[in-house]
C-alpha cells in the first residue's frame, strides 16, 4: 500500500511539472510573437542563428549532462523552431513526394510546424524559391559515398537564390514492399543514388532482380504501395507514410552513409560565429589561374572545405568551380579574400554564408 501511495505522489508531481511546462511554453510563444512584432517594426530578420546558438550552448552548460544531451537538443530545437515559425508561417519546397529523405531533412531542420510543398524535381525546388512562392527550399548537395548531386550544383548556375543553412543527415536504406516478402519483389525501384549506395547488397542478395531508377525515394515507395511486385529502397518515414512492410533493414553497402543538404532562400542569415561561405567561380583560361585562387585563400589563412567543378552548359570544356570556405562574409578576412577573388576571377558569385552543420548537429 505504501509503494502504491508513493508512486501516486510521484505521478502527481510529474503532472504538476507537465502543467508548468505547458504554462511556460504558452508564455514562451507569446514572447516569440512579441519579438516578431518588434522585428517587423525595425525590418530585422526573423532568424538570428547566433542567438539560437547561444541558447543551445547555455542550456547544455546548465544541464551538466543530467538530461540526455541529444534528446535535450531535439526537444529545444522543436520548441525554438515552433516559436520562430509562429512569427510567420514558413513554407518549404522539397523534392517529393512525401517521405523522401529530403522531406525528412526538411522536417528535422524546420520542425513539424512548417508547411511543406512537394516538387517533382530539384530544378522546381529552386524555381519556387526564386519566384517567391515559398520562403525556403531544401536540396541534397552531396553524399559521403556517391559524391556530389550534380542537378543541385547545376541549378545554382540557373537560379538567383542564396544558401541559408545546411544539415547532415545519416542515411539508412530499407528494402520494403507491400507484403514484406522478398519473394514477391520482381523489380527494385528507387532514386539513382540509393540504388548506387546499395548496389553490392542487391548484387549479392537479389542478382536476378532488375532495378528501376525513379526521380525520388518517395516516388519509389508510392510505386511499391500500388504494386505488390515492386520493392522500394526507402526511408523510415516512407514505411509509415505508405504503410509498407520492411523486407530488410539497412541494406546500404557502407556504414556512415551521410547526405549533406542545403537550405536555399532569398537571403543568407547573419553571422553565427561558426559559419560557411559558398562561392561560384570562373577562372581565367591560362596556366596557374586556379592556383592563384588557392594562393589567395592560403595567404588569408582561409580554410577551404570543398572544391567541385561543373561544366558550363553550351560552352565546350569550360568550367565553373563551387567552393566552400569556413567563415562568414561578415568576417573581415572573408570579405578581404572574396574582394580579391572578385577582381581576379572572370566570373564571381557569392552563393551565401550560413551556419555550419556541426553548429546544429542536434538534427542528426
Which of 138, 119, 90 lies closest to 261, judged by CA? Answer: 138
Measured CA to CA in angstroms, residue 350 lies from 110, 161, 278, 300 at distances of: 24, 10, 6, 18
Calculate mean pLDDT across residues 150-167.
94
Cell numbers of 276, please?
560557411
Domains 91-171+258-263 and 175-248 equal at CATH topology level: yes
* Assigned CATH topology for domain 175-248: D-Maltodextrin-Binding Protein; domain 2 (3.40.190)
CA distances from 2 to 8, 13, 15 (A): 10, 17, 20
What is the Cα 86 distance to its own chain's centre?
A: 21
Q: Domain 91-171+258-263 maps to which CATH number in 3.30.930.10, 3.50.50.60, 3.50.40.10, 3.40.190.10?
A: 3.40.190.10
Q: What is the pLDDT of residues 280-312, one digit of tens each?
A: 999 888 888 899 999 999 999 999 999 999 888
Q: Which CATH superfamily is domain 2-87 in?
A: Chorismate mutase (1.20.59.10)
pLDDT of residue 1: 56
User: What pTM, to 2 d.p., does this model score?
Assistant: 0.74
CA distance 188 to 185: 7
Among 21-30, 125-134, 341-350, the minimum mean pLDDT is found in: 21-30
Provide the CATH number for the domain formed by 270-363 in this structure. 3.30.70.260
Mean pLDDT computed over 40-51 = 70
Domain boundaries, the chain: 2-87, 91-171+258-263, 175-248, 270-363
The confidence score (pLDDT) of residue 144 equals: 87
Amino acid at each position: 500500500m505504501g509503494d502504491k501511495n508513493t508512486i501516486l505522489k510521484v505521478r502527481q508531481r510529474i503532472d504538476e511539472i507537465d502543467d508548468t511546462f505547458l504554462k511556460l511554453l504558452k508564455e514562451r510563444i507569446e514572447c516569440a510573437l512579441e519579438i516578431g512584432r518588434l522585428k517587423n517594426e525595425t525590418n530585422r530578420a526573423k532568424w538570428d542563428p547566433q542567438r539560437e546558438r547561444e541558447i543551445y550552448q547555455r542550456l547544455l552548460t546548465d544541464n551538466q549532462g543530467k538530461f540526455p544531451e541529444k534528446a535535450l537538443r531535439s526537444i529545444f530545437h522543436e520548441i525554438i523552431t515552433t516559436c520562430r515559425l509562429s512569427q510567420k508561417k514558413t513554407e518549404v519546397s522539397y523534392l517529393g513526394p512525401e517521405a523522401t529523405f529530403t522531406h525528412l531533412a526538411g522536417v528535422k531542420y524546420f520542425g513539424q510546424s512548417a508547411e511543406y510543398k512537394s516538387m517533382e524535381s530539384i530544378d522546381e525546388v529552386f524555381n519556387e524559391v526564386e519566384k517567391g512562392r515559398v520562403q525556403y527550399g531544401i536540396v541534397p548537395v552531396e553524399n559521403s559515398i556517391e559524391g556530389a548531386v550534380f542537378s543541385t550544383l547545376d541549378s545554382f548556375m540557373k537560379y538567383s537564390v542564396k544558401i541559408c543553412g545546411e544539415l547532415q543527415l545519416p542515411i539508412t536504406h530499407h528494402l520494403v514492399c507491400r507484403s514484406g516478402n522478398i519473394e514477391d519483389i520482381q523489380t527494385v525501384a528507387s532514386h539513382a543514388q540509393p540504388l548506387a549506395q546499395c548496389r553490392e547488397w542487391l548484387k549479392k542478395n537479389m542478382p536476378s532482380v532488375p532495378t528501376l531508377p525513379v526521380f525520388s525515394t518517395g516516388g519509389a515507395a508510392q510505386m511499391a504501395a500500388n504494386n505488390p511486385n515492386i520493392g522500394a529502397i526507402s526511408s523510415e518515414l516512407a514505411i509509415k507514410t505508405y504503410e509498407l512492410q520492411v523486407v530488410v533493414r539497412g541494406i546500404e553497402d557502407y556504414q556512415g552513409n551521410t547526405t549533406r543538404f542545403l537550405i536555399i532562400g532569398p537571403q543568407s542569415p547573419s553571422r553565427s560565429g561558426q559559419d560557411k561561405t559558398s562561392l561560384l567561380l570562373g577562372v581565367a583560361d591560362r596556366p596557374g589561374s586556379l592556383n592563384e585562387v588557392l594562393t589567395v585563400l592560403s595567404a588569408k589563412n582561409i580554410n577551404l572545405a570543398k572544391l567541385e567543378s561543373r561544366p558550363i552548359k553550351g560552352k565546350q570544356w569550360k568550367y565553373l568551380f563551387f567552393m566552400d570556405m569556413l567563415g562568414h562574409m561578415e568576417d573581415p578576412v572573408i570579405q578581404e579574400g572574396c574582394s580579391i577573388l572578385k577582381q581576379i576571377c572572370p566570373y564571381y558569385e557569392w552563393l551565401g554564408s550560413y551556419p555550419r552543420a556541426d553548429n546544429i548537429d542536434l538534427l542528426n
